[in-house]
């Protein structure tokens, strides 16, 4: 039977490092508060004029992933692009990647599942490969958050958390049963959509309406997050969806070589680690360096784990994510 393996990984983050002290110069916050509540020390922000967009960063990560998979762009049968911050309102960023990689034509689609976007995209790639429809699928998670954040004290509960960057994985057909994606577990709960959302501009709140209102107090075009509510739901759903993945594959926590959680908040990862009794070396965290990069966070973390030599053939790897929607999911794979 065909399996889907990750045959190449890559990442790109902008060069511009923003420290907590940098943020405390533009809003009422502090290095201590941010580290204590989130674990974040620095994040990367695109600098105006550095040429980066969501799709451009995705392409930079994708080129590395393709090279490591020993493939060329022409070998790609499908592009899946996970982001909440596409280059344009429409079209999606996937088609821009197809053009930038100079693939004559290929299917490309964007996946709008925020922090769970990469896990959803990986599950989609897995299905296309397992059914035999495609041989190689390029999965990208990329975000350009920085330009859209409220960098005043009013927005500090959200803006200190998020960073820019991109990660990419090539998912390829593997003829064998000893490796590959074992299962994916995906969920949504739309009743909480507005607890973590950006409402305007949208078809609910068109740009002309925002301009006509001319209201300096209008924050509808900034991300809104009910932090504590999101936190409580995150720890619950992370745990449930990891258990679902383990049970489905008759695995126990001690058999996990590496858990790569979406980098939402170091406190969430630590809660999950404790709940499953995992050792430090079984959980990968890099939120300290990059903040929360939403759809990019898992592929960036997975790439760094691979670069650090932490992933070897046959290792059980668990990916888990939770975010806006609410949406959440996990992937269990044998590296």
Which residues are known to be catalytic? 115, 262, 292
Contact 55, 87 (CB under 8 A): yes
DSSP 130-170: HTTS-SEEEEEEEE--GGGS--SGGGHHHHTTB--EEEEEE
Closest chain position to ligand ACO (CB): 323
Q: Looking at beta carbons only, is 282 or 293 nearer to ligand ACO? A: 293
Q: Looking at beta carbons only, is 81 or 335 nearer to ligand ACO? A: 81
Q: What percent of the chain is helix, strand and coil (3-state, nearest 5)? A: 40, 25, 35
CA distance 188 to 204: 21
DSSP 37-82: HH---EEE-PPTTS---HHHHHHHHHHHHHHHTT--GGG--EEEEE
Q: Looking at beta carbons only, is 77 or 110 nearer to ligand ACO? A: 110
Q: How far is the CB of 197 from ligand ACO (least distance, A)?
A: 9
Q: How far is the CB of 124 from ligand ACO (least distance, A)?
A: 18
Q: How far is the CB of 275 from ligand ACO (least distance, A)?
A: 16
CA distance 217 to 205: 15
Look at the block and give the residue holding tokens 């004029």. Answer: 49
Binding site for ligand ACO (CB under 6 A): 29, 33-34, 37-38, 114-115, 156-157, 160-161, 196, 227-228, 230-231, 234, 264-265, 268, 292, 294, 323-324
Q: How far is the CB of 7 from ligand ACO (least distance, A)?
A: 28
Q: Looking at beta carbons only, is 98 or 263 nearer to ligand ACO? A: 263
């Amino acid at each position: 039977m065909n399996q889907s393996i990750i045959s190449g990984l890559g990442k790109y983050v902008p060069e511009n490092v923003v420290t907590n002290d940098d943020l405390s110069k533009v809003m009422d916050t502090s290095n201590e508060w941010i580290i204590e509540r989130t674990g974040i020390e620095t994040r990367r922000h695109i600098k105006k004029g550095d040429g980066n967009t969501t799709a451009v960063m995705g392409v930079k990560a994708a080129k590395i992933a393709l090279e490591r998979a020993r493939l060329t762009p022409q070998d790609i049968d499908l592009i899946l692009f996970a982001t909440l911050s596409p280059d344009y309102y429409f079209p999606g960023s996937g088609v821009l990647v197809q053009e930038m990689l100079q693939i004559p034509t290929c299917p490309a689609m964007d996946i709008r599942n925020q922090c769970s976007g990469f896990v959803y995209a990986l599950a989609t790639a897995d299905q296309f490969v397992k059914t035999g429809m495609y041989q190689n699928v390029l999965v990208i998670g990329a975000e350009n958050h920085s330009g859209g954040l409220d960098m005043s004290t009013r927005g500090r509960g959200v803006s200190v958390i998020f960073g820019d960057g991109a990660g990419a994985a090539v998912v390829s057909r593997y003829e064998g049963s000893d490796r590959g994606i074992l299962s994916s577990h995906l969920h949504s709960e739309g009743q909480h959509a507005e607890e973590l959302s950006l409402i305007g501009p949208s078809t609910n709140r068109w740009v002309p309406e925002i301009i006509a209102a001319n209201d300096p107090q209008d924050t509808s075009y900034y991300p809104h997050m009910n932090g504590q509510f999101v936190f409580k739901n995150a720890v619950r759903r992370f745990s449930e969806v990891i258990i679902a993945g383990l049970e489905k594959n008759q695995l126990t926590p001690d058999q996990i070589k590496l858990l790569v959680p979406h980098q939402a908040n170091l406190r969430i990862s630590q809660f999950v680690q404790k709940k499953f009794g995992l050792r430090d070396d079984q959980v990968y965290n890099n939120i300290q360096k990059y903040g929360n990069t939403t759809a990019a966070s898992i592929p960036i973390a997975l790439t760094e784990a691979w670069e650090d030599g932490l992933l070897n053939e046959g290792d059980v790897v668990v990916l888990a994510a939770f975010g806006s929607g609410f949406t959440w999911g996990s992937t269990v794979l044998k590296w």
